[in-house]
Chains A and B, each alone.
Chain A
Amino acid sequence: MGTEELLPLYKKMLEIRNLELLIKPLIREGLMRGFSHQSVGQEGVAVGVCSALSDRDYITSNHRGHGHVLAKGLELKLVMAELLGRATGCCGGKGGSMHIADPSLGILGANGIVGAGMPIAVGAALAIKKQGMDSVVACFFGDGAANEGSFHESLNLAAIWKLPVLFVCENNLYGMSGPVKKMLLIEDIAIRAKGYGMPGIIGDGNDIEEVHKLTAEAVARAKSGQGPTLLEFKTYRWFGHSVNDAEAYRTREEVEEWKKLCPIHRLRDKLLTRGVTQETIERIDSEAKAAVEEALEYAKNSPNPEPEAAFRDVYA
């Protein structure tokens, strides 16, 4: 990919990280409530996959979905306002962190139920096929979700009907606290694809160019009627499962080792070797910082929903 293509992706990853880094302070300050699951360290997968999708394509996401929805095009301020539960949030403050959605951008939603996005993605792909739409659905889920029944049922269904789904597994080595070494006997989740008759592709989730390339190939397969692909991107989350996680299940050493493989730093280094100037990098760094700060200001200055909002939109 050329540097003109990569620079916006670099900026997007930074924006995601900057937003995610605000979560703990916001919760401590009481401005944000409930659960939140940060994706710091996994930005390469969210941005890399979405960079190979078009406006016509769809995604389903999971509880660790801030990166996915931002990468798919949701505005920072709408996400931030939703996290603060404000009326101006993308869901009017009704959904919060785990339920961010915007169907007009093809975002069929983050989801608080592990594995729930997979059947929904299959259904969206069925609708795409039935209506002859030129679209695909990318379904984000983790290593933990690969053990849910929904994973197996959804892969089989998408495969037999040759539906345009990309099953994107972010293998970050841990479910909540369950290490993959304990919860799976296989090293690579991608080999399960063979059991359903679809290609299983493994990639370095922290190499955004590789993520983009493998995703684009899967998109092409899906659009040419060859059906779904299971993509497994190896990655790592720097923080605990959620804000309340003491991380007793892994060592600090392991975290530090993975930090060295940071997708943002690796892309930055690549860009510098490809002729992008330090000034440009620094400019983008401060733009990304300012964008998130602006979004936070917008959110903080937004009103709470009116009380009647609790009773709206139960039924269409």
Chain B
Amino acid sequence: MTMMTQLEAIRCGLSEEMKRDSSVFIMGEDVGLYGGVFGLTGPLWKEFGDDRVIDTPISELAIVGTGVGAAMLGLRPVVEIMFMDFITLAMDPIVNQAAKLRYMTGGKIKVPMVVRMLGGGGLSVSAQHSQSLEAWFAHIPGLKVVAPATAYDGKGLMKSAIRDDNTVIFIEHKLLYKSSDEVPDDDYTVPIGKADIKRVGKDISLITYSGMLPKALAAAAELSSEGIELEVVDLRTLRPLDSATILESVCRTGKAIVLHEAPLSLGIGAEVSALIMEGAFDYLDAPVVRIAGKEVPSPYNDTLEAQVIPTVGQIVTVARKLRHGGCND
């Protein structure tokens, strides 16, 4: 076991897969010599060179489309979109091509591509560099979408994503890059499509993913001292959702909170709420509560921005109210 940051763990997963399989390569803007905007890919470029870690022009549409074409001929590209917000420039290759080519051709084609995207706010980088757009991709049949929140899951899911024969959207969060946990040294994977109960608790199921996981765990620690035990369910995969784990947890606790950084309306929380209503209605003591980002673009000023993103305090307040019999405000 090695203690490492999530950034290091994702890099480690990439490195191991690139060693194991020569068809795996990285493509993106400033991933090589510059090293990646947060330094993730630089050491990989030093290790594997220009041929395997390829710097591209600023051409998101062509970069992702090139990934599609290369994957169709048997390579396994890991394409980087520097900030998730830039994916708007490359929606066609993902949504109309990668997600659909296998289906439209009756199974003749596969597109084993990984598209890494860096999302999330909290760094004062403003509205066009802070978004959480995962719901867009989780809504598309033909894609898989993962959003690891720990170093362990980061490495394990990266390896699974690369080995998967489908296009996997791999969502990273800026504020999680520095978070550390223990990572096995051996060749392990984390399965796509399986949630993980990060903290067992009997009172409320707090279902979350990505950047909100540390806040969920912090809230759970605080509430524990009051005798309220949160069960923190880390979704890890957003498409396909692990409904079995979600429902099993809620059936035990009888109360559910869904927490995400992305804006409330039509987010992942709406889907999970519907799932819980459909599959665990008789076990619910109260309606599902959603805690999510506010319905505004991310403001630049840090005090303003802090208002937009859910806080530990908000989670604690909601959980207290829920535990003591209250409904949504």
> Which residues of chain A have a CB within 8 Å of any CB of chain B?
58, 60, 89-95, 99, 101-104, 108-109, 111-113, 116, 118-128, 130-131, 137, 149-150, 153-154, 156-157, 160, 312-316
Contact = CB atoms under 8 A, between A and B. Distances in A.
Interface in B122-179: 141-142, 144, 165-166
Contacts of B69: 60, 108, 119-127, 137
Which one of A60, A95, A111, A127 has the greatest number of beta carbons of chain B within 10 Å?
Answer: A127
A120 B102 contact: no
Interface string B87-109: 00000110011000111111111
Contact of A150 (B56, B65, B72, B73): B65
A122 to B, nearest CB: 5
A157 B57 contact: yes
A100 B241 CA distance: 32
Contacts of A101: 101, 104-105, 108-109
B103 A314 contact: yes
A157 B62 contact: yes
A312 B141 CA distance: 12
B110 A316 contact: yes
A161 to B, nearest CB: 9
Nearest to A115: B92
A109 B56 CA distance: 25
A119 B72 contact: no
Given A153-B59, A160-B57, A314-B142, A123 B70 contact: yes
Nearest to B165: A316
A123 B67 CA distance: 6
A29 B68 CA distance: 37
Which one of B59, B68, B108 has the greatest number of beta carbons of chain A within 10 Å?
Answer: B108
B1 to A, nearest CB: 33
A119 B68 contact: yes
B104 A99 contact: yes
A52 B68 CA distance: 25
Given A90-B108, A91-B106, A101-B105, 13 more contacts: A90-B106, A101-B104, A103-B105, A108-B109, A113-B97, A118-B65, A119-B68, A119-B69, A127-B75, A150-B62, A315-B102, A316-B102, A316-B166
Nearest to A108: B72
B25 interface: yes
Nearest to A124: B69
19 contacts: A94-B104, A119-B64, A119-B68, A120-B65, A120-B68, A123-B65, A123-B66, A123-B67, A123-B70, A126-B66, A127-B69, A127-B74, A127-B75, A130-B75, A137-B69, A149-B61, A157-B56, A314-B141, A315-B102
Nearest to B100: A99
B119 interface: no
Contacts of A128: 73
Contact of B72 (A89, A104, A111, A124): A124
B53 interface: no
- The 3 A-B pairs at the shortest CB distance, nearest first, are namely A123-B69, A119-B65, A92-B106
A313 B59 CA distance: 30
B226 interface: no
Contact of B61 (A99, A104, A111, A150): A150
A305 B65 CA distance: 30
A119 B142 contact: no
B278 interface: no
Given A116-B97, A314-B142, A316-B165, A123 B56 contact: no
B73 A95 contact: no
Given A95-B104, A109-B109, A120 B72 contact: yes
A160 B104 CA distance: 32
A130 B25 contact: yes
B185 interface: no
Given A149-B61, A156-B57, A160-B57, A119 B107 contact: no
B40 interface: no
B287 to A, nearest CB: 32
B51 interface: yes
B54 to A, nearest CB: 9
Contact of B106 (A95, A118, A121, A137): A95
A80 B66 CA distance: 30
B97 A313 contact: no
